């Protein structure tokens, strides 16, 4: 990818973060939700989840240079605060069939966890510390604002 392509990628905005409806099948036995194929815009390379989270805990507090993530509230509820360097938005997640797609170049913070909440994250790549931006001032510099 050329330098100009990379520069454009980092100019992502909160308008590119969206709720994705996960396809469901419902019958008398309950609901089956399925994430596969083209139901999300990336191949899944890593799956992790957060649970037993104290209600006053704070997670996230970083951005990614290349990574796409789909955040799914499997149980309970929590808030995802996003920032593109200029604008902020808060998504309150509480339905397991409505997931939040976060694109690269977006700062995120997760808090306000309800009792028993479980946060599932599907990621486009394996863990790579060099992909993280963990300081907000560094994030702003990365965004070249």
Closest to 60 in 3D by CA, of 98, 93, 97 = 93
Specify which residues 69 forms β-bridges with: 102, 123
- DSSP reduced 3-state for 77: coil
Active site residues: 62
Which residue is it, tokens 């200029």? Answer: 86
CB atoms within 10 A of CB 124: 19
Closest to 93 in 3D by CA, of 109, 74, 121 = 74
Taking only Cα atoms into account, the Rg of the chain, rounded to an integer number of angstroms, comes to 16
How far is Cα 122 from Cα 41, in angstroms, rounded to an integer?
A: 11
């Amino acid at each position: 990818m050329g330098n100009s392509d990379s520069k454009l990628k980092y100019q992502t905005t909160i308008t590119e973060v969206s709720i994705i409806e996960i396809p469901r099948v419902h019958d008398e036995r309950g609901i089956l939700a399925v994430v596969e194929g083209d139901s999300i815009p990336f191949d899944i390379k890593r799956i992790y989840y957060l649970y037993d989270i104290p209600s006053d805990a704070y997670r996230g507090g970083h951005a990614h240079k290349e990574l796409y993530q789909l955040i799914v509230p499997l149980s309970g509820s929590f808030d995802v605060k996003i920032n593109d360097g200029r604008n902020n938005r808060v998504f309150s997640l509480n339905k397991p069939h409505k997931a939040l797609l976060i694109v690269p170049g977006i700062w995120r913070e997760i808090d306000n966890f309800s009792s028993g909440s479980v946060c599932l994250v599907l990621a486009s790549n394996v863990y790579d510390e060099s992909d993280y931006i963990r300081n907000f001032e560094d994030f702003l510099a990365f965004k070249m604002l």
